[in-house]
Structures are given as C-alpha cells and as structure tokens.
C-alpha cells in the first residue's frame, strides 16, 4: 500500500477499482496508486487522518506524460509537419475539453472521490474531469511505465488528430483565395498536381498554386483536395490574409 494512504480499501472500493481497470483495459500492480488517482483534495482534506496526499501530484506527473506522448505522436505521424502546425495540433489534443471528453468516455467522474462541497460540481466540472484523467495517466506511468501510457493514448490521439484535421478542412481556403484573386487581379488561381507518392493506402499529394506573376506556393495532404486547400492556405499567408 502506498505510504500516502493510511487506509484499507473497502470491498466496495476494490470492486470499483476492478471495474475501472476493466473499462480502461489496464491491470495495475499497485491498486493503491489507481485509487489515489481518484482522490480529490477536497475528499482527502475531510479525511486527513487516513489520507496524507491526494491526486494532485499524480496529475502533475500525468500532465507531463500526456504532453510528451502527444508531441511524440505528432512528430512521428506528421513527418512533414512544421513546428507551428505541430504545436497547434498538440494544444488542441491536450486541451481540457479534449481530455475531459476522454475522462467521461471512461466514466472517470463516477469513480472520483470528492468532498461534500465538490460533489455537485464533479460530474460537470470540465477541469475536474481533465485533472482526473491526467492523474490516472500519472498513476499508469508509475505503475507500468511510459510505453503502457503510449499504448493507452495512441488510439485517442489518432481520433483527435482526425477531428482537428476535419475542422481545418471546413475552412474553404480555396474559395477565399479565388475571391481575393478575382477582385484584386481579375484572375483565377491555378492549381497543378506536382507529385503524388506512397502506397495506395497512404498516398501523399503535393499541389502548387499560382496566380500569374503575383505568387506561387504549394501544399501537401493525404488527398488532392486537402493538398489544394493547404496550398491555398499557404498562398493566403503569403498574401497576409491569414
């Protein structure tokens, strides 16, 4: 038992922790670590004779684990991604709303031990939900190491990246560029497929866009439409419209 807890877990709590491990598909060697990840400061303060700590230290650790693994995932999955794009994606993927959503997916708020004053906010407080998820990651890291955290997070990172990409694609950069070029120079931008490479299931397209002698730039993507959008976005940046 961790030296941060002076308590023998009740059969009900042990059953809850078993259910939690089943939901998260994990198997903790030190179940007291998992328990501590769900002990909020308000609960520990009300039972200070038995609790010497709460989940805040685990949350601190889990926040760093989440950050490094998100950065690693983006670095590997987007080998051509610029630093600014990677930073923007990472910021969205580790944001409180995104992490709180994962917390709810695993029903973490149901297992969180809160003091009387916090109980009403526990189910709906976004920060509490996100903090709890980070504390869980901290506990998982201490119990099983970084690779277990990586395996746990990767499927979620893949979904998050797709959601962010889809949100980006809802911005029609091509239309914005076309309207600007027509108004400014009475010309339409021209798109040219420069190259496509990679296997059929993982192709990469490079498209250039130009408008007379005024500008020429390019963009890439997993399909031609995406590459054209990224080329248009690059042009808008050159023209200082973004």
Annotated binding site for Mg(2+): 59, 131, 134
- Please give the Cα distance from 193 to 207 (Å, whole number): 4
Beta strand 216-221 with 204-210 is antiparallel
- Please give the Cα distance from 71 to 157 (Å, whole number): 10
Binding site: which residues? 59, 131, 134
Is 120 catalytic? The answer is: no
- Please give the Cα distance from 152 to 98 (Å, whole number): 15
Is 63 catalytic? The answer is: yes
CA 34 to chain centre: 22
SS in 3 state form for 44-93? HHHCCCCECCCCHHHHHHHHHHHHHHHHHHHHHHCCCCCHHHHHHHHHHH
Catalytic residue, candidates 30, 56, 134, 196: 134
- Please give the Cα distance from 180 to 134 (Å, whole number): 45
CA dihedral 72, 74, 77, 81 (to 10 degrees): -130
Catalytic residue, candidates 47, 56, 63, 123: 63
Q: How far is the first Cα of the chain from the last one, in angstroms, to the nearest whole number?
A: 55
Annotated catalytic sites, by residue? 63, 134
């Amino acid at each position: 038992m961790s030296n941060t807890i002076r308590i023998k877990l009740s059969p009900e709590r042990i059953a809850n922790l078993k259910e939690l491990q089943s939901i998260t598909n994990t198997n903790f060697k030190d179940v007291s670590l998992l328990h501590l990840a769900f002990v909020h400061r308000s609960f520990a303060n009300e039972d200070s004779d038995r609790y010497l700590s709460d989940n805040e230290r685990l949350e601190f650790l889990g926040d760093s684990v989440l950050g490094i693994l998100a950065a690693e995932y983006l670095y590997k999955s987007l080998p051509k991604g610029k630093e600014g794009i990677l930073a923007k994606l990472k910021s969205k993927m580790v944001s409180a709303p995104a992490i709180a959503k994962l917390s709810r997916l695993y029903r973490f708020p149901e297992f969180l031990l809160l003091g009387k004053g916090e109980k009403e906010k526990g189910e709906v407080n976004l920060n509490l939900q996100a903090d709890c998820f980070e504390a869980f990651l901290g506990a998982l890291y201490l119990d099983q190491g970084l690779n277990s955290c990586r395996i746990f997070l990767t499927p979620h990172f893949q979904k998050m990246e797709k959601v962010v990409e889809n949100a980006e694609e809802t911005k029609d950069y091509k239309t914005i560029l076309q309207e600007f070029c027509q108004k400014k120079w009475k010309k339409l931008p021209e798109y040219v497929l420069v190259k496509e490479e990679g296997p059929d299931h993982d192709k990469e397209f490079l498209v250039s866009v130009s408008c007379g002698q005024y500008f020429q730039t390019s963009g890439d993507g997993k399909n031609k439409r995406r590459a054209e959008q990224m080329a248009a976005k690059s042009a808008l940046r050159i023209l200082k419209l973004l």
